[in-house]
């Protein structure tokens, strides 16, 4: 039986330390693919820890794709060694196909969801993500602003480098090392006012002549950003593991835009094996890069955050993107990207003339917020807050007749989940009936790329179990007291007839 010592635990919890030990043995080949791990109870007894510790460690390893479970049999090691970046010829190109789903009709983009009648007294928006004003640390933020005004008057008057002020880039680098395992330098970090601006810089840096691959389904606004820059786009279908690598290879794409830790809108988390496949694809050509959008990584509600793709990249092929609009407030337009070292000279040569689009004042305030440990505390508090909000909504559903008509997908992945509706109504009817009651929502089918060249073809939903009539629920801005009303109103609007 596996045996580990907990003498060098450090700052890790017991389950985190155990998870890291098992993960390390899997990556080093000490535990082989297909090998069965000890039972939770037997393993806990052997290690002298609680069953919960082993259970949490196994759960995290399963979430990241290192393990899989077989009902009534146990936990087994997944096949990932063939994806490790050794010789290129050894990188696997296979990927499983999900079952097909025929969409009943082509729907409008989420930006064109029917407007909610203004005369209705109660309006609930399940499409947009919002921050509760009571959860933003206004008092602390004001104190840090006064501190910056008092102590950094000279720095505030000096134009910042195009990449952003050094203090903020250093604070972000320290945070990424401590909490994401990313060993990056301040020189690799570029600050910008929103991810849309940074994506525009990347297109200029990597080239408009390149073909950019996007997830299908995917975030509609992101596709519009790429379309506005007139670049060639390939829409790559997804399965239960994320981007289908076979389809990516045959697309002729040069750049891949992917959100492996929490995909929007499906909530899928890309397992470790598929991540190495993606890195293998990027390694096949010097001009290929992966843009990793890690927008919601802080709010995984079960286990620890999923390690970034950049943290396992050994070939300098991943461009990491993140933003503070999710973790702090949607109106704080501060985002950043981490460039591979191989692109730094090119960035400086081609785009070094750009001024930073975020004011010094905001940058120094955020730098103090991160450096003094307030950001970490805020994330921990908000994770608990959102977990409570998610649990309250799931409870409201479970206590309503609607619970017999729905199935919940990816409720632990982040600040939204999917609700699959058992109904004969079309997605457009689901949306319209909800809108008539003051509820704005969107369906998964709206996030697929609709081909204009073949309007009569059936769009493909590559989910393993066809997720028909799946409603997206962004619950971050939903008030708890409105949840029972929301659930009951949806039930009446969809099944009341």
What is the secondary structure of 206-244 as a DSSP string? H-TTSEEEEEES--HHHHHHHHHTT-EEEEEEEETTEE-
**Per-residue model confidence (pLDDT) at position 302:** 66
Same domain for 305 and 170: yes
Average pLDDT score over residue span 194-201 = 93
pLDDT band at 180 (very low <50, low <70, confident <90, very high): confident
Residue 116 pLDDT > 50: no
Q: How far apart are CA 83 and CA 293, in angstroms?
A: 22
DSSP sequence for 333-393: --EEEE--GGGHHHHHHHHTTPPPSS-HHHHHHHHHHHHTTHHHHHHHHHHHHHHHHHHHH
**Per-residue model confidence (pLDDT) at position 29:** 85
**Per-residue model confidence (pLDDT) at position 465:** 40
Which tokens hold the place of 52?
């919960």
Q: What percentage of residues in the chain have a pLDDT greater than 70?
A: 86
Asked whether residue 240 is assigned to any structural domain, the reply reads yes
Same domain for 323 and 187: yes
Least confident of 84-88, 156-160, 228-232, 417-421: 84-88
Same domain for 334 and 197: yes
**Per-residue model confidence (pLDDT) at position 455:** 36
**Per-residue model confidence (pLDDT) at position 295:** 80
Q: How far apart are CA 412 and CA 440, in angstroms?
A: 23
Asked whether residue 244 is assigned to any structural domain, the reply reads yes
Burial of 214-253, coded b for 16+ CB within 10 Å and e otherwise, reads bbbbbbbebbebbeeeebebbbbbbbbbbbbbbbbbebeb
> What Rg value do the Cα atoms of the chain yield, rounded?
23
Residue 87 pLDDT > 60: no
pLDDT band at 97 (very low <50, low <70, confident <90, very high): very low
pLDDT band at 120 (very low <50, low <70, confident <90, very high): very low
- Identify the bridge partners of residue 124 per DSSP, sorted by sequence position: 439
Same domain for 256 and 175: yes
**Per-residue model confidence (pLDDT) at position 450:** 62
**Per-residue model confidence (pLDDT) at position 108:** 37
Same domain for 195 and 46: no
Residue 114 pLDDT > 90: no
Compare 133 and 435 and report the one with higher pLDDT: 435
Least confident of 18-32, 180-194, 232-246: 18-32
pLDDT band at 122 (very low <50, low <70, confident <90, very high): very low
pLDDT band at 337 (very low <50, low <70, confident <90, very high): very high
Same domain for 326 and 408: no
Q: How far apart are CA 155 and CA 359, in angstroms?
A: 11
Residue 421 pLDDT > 90: yes
Task: Name, in order, each residue with C-beta under 8 angstroms of 472's C-beta and a sequence gap of 6 or more.
Answer: 126, 127, 265, 416, 417, 418, 441, 442, 443, 444
Is 187 in contact with 344 (CB distance < 8 Å)? yes
End residue of a domain, out of 372, 407, 439: 372
Taking CA atoms, 220 is separated from 161, 210, 263, 275, in Å, by 32, 20, 13, 23
Q: How far apart are CA 94 and CA 92, in angstroms?
A: 6
End residue of a domain, out of 372, 388, 407: 372
Query: What is the Cβ-side half-sphere exposure of residue 247, based on CA atoms within 13 angstroms?
Result: 19
Per-residue pLDDT of 365-379, as tens digits, reads: 999 999 999 999 999
Taking CA atoms, 418 is separated from 155, 204, 245, 389, 470, in Å, by 46, 35, 24, 15, 6
DSSP sequence for 101-113: -B-SSPPPPGGGP
- Identify the CATH number of the domain in which residue 283 sits: 3.40.640.10
- Identify the CATH number of the domain in which residue 54 sits: 1.10.10.10
CA dihedral (118, 120, 122, 126) positive or negative: negative
Asked whether residue 122 is assigned to any structural domain, the reply reads yes
CA dihedral (62, 67, 68, 71) positive or negative: negative
Asked whether residue 228 is assigned to any structural domain, the reply reads yes
**Per-residue model confidence (pLDDT) at position 411:** 76
What is the domain count for the chain?
A: 3
Is 34 in contact with 73 (CB distance < 8 Å)? no
Domain span holding position 467: 110-134+378-495
Residue 95 pLDDT > 80: no
Per-residue pLDDT of 445-483, as tens digits, reads: 899 986 333 333 333 334 334 467 899 999 888 889 999
Q: What is the DSSP letter of 472?
A: E
Which tokens hold the place of 26?
């899997």
Same domain for 192 and 118: no
Same domain for 209 and 169: yes
Same domain for 284 and 235: yes
Asked whether residue 1 is assigned to any structural domain, the reply reads no
Average pLDDT score over residue span 300-325 = 86
Residue 27: name the closest of 77, 91, 93 by CA. 77
User: How far from each other are the two terminal CA atoms of the chain, in whole angstroms?
Assistant: 59
pLDDT band at 8 (very low <50, low <70, confident <90, very high): confident
Same domain for 171 and 58: no
Q: How far apart are CA 441 and CA 265, in angstroms?
A: 13
pLDDT band at 181 (very low <50, low <70, confident <90, very high): confident
Q: Dihedral angle at the C-alpha atoms of 284, 288, 294, 295, nearest 10 degrees?
A: -150
**Per-residue model confidence (pLDDT) at position 303:** 64
Q: How far apart are CA 358 and CA 162, in angstroms?
A: 10
Which tokens hold the place of 130?
């919002």
Per-residue pLDDT of 151-172, as tens digits, reads: 999 999 999 999 999 999 999 9
Same domain for 360 and 305: yes
Helices 220-228 and 195-206: crossing angle in degrees, nearest 10, is 40
């Amino acid at each position: 039986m596996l045996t580990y010592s907990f003498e060098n635990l450090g700052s890790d919890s017991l389950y985190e330390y155990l998870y890291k030990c098992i993960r390390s043995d899997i990556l080093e080949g000490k535990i082989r693919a297909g090998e069965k791990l000890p039972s939770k109870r037997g393993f806990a007894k052997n290690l002298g820890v609680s069953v919960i510790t082993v259970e949490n460690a196994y759960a995290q390893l399963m979430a990241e794709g290192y393990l899989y479970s077989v009902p009534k049999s146990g936990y087994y090691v997944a096949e990932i060694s063939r994806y490790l970046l050794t010789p290129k010829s050894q990188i696997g190109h296979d990927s499983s196909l999900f079952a097909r789903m025929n969409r009943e009709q082509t729907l409008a983009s989420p930006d064109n969801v029917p407007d909610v009648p203004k005369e209705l007294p109660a309006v609930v928006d399940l499409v947009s993500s919002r921050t509760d004003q009571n959860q933003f640390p206004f008092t602390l933020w004001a104190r840090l602003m006064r501190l910056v005004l008092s102590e950094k008057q000279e720095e505030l008057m000096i134009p910042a480098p195009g990449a952003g002020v050094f203090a903020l880039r250093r604070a972000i680098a320290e945070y990424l090392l401590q909490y994401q395992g990313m060993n990056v330098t301040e020189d690799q970090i570029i600050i910008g006012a929103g991810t849309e601006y940074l994506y525009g810089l990347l297109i200029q840096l990597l080239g408009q002549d390149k073909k950019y691959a996007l997830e299908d389904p995917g975030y509609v606004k992101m596709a519009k950003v790429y379309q506005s820059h007139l670049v060639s786009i390939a829409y790559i279908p997804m399965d239960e593991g994320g981007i289908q690598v076979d389809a990516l290879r045959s697309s002729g794409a040069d750049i891949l835009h992917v959100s492996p830790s929490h995909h929007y809108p499906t909530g899928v988390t890309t397992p470790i094996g598929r991540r190495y496949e993606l890195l293998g694809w990027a390694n096949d050509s010097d001009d290929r890069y992966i843009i990793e959008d890690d927008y919601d990584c802080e709010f995984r509600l079960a286990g620890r955050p999923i390690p970034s793709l950049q943290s396992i990249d050994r070939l300098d092929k991943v461009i990491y993107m993140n933003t503070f609009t999710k973790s702090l407030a949607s109106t704080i337009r501060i985002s950043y990207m981490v460039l591979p070292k191989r692109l730094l000279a090119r960035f400086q040569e081609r785009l070094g003339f750009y001024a930073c689009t975020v004011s010094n004042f905001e940058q120094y305030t955020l730098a103090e917020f991160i450096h003094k440990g307030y950001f970490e505390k805020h994330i921990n508090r908000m994770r608990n807050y959102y977990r409570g909000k998610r649990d309250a909504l799931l409870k409201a559903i479970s206590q309503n007749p609607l619970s017999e008509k729905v199935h919940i997908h990816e409720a632990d992945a982040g600040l939204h989940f999917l609700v699959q509706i058992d109904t004969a109504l079309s997605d457009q009817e689901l949306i319209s009936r909800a809108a008539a009651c003051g509820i704005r929502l969107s369906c998964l089918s709206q996030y697929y790329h609709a081909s204009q060249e073949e309007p009569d073809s059936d769009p493909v939903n590559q989910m393993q179990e066809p997720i028909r009539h799946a409603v997206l629920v962004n619950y971050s801005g939903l008030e708890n007291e409105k949840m029972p009303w929301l659930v009951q109103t949806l039930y009446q609007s969809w099944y009341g007839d």
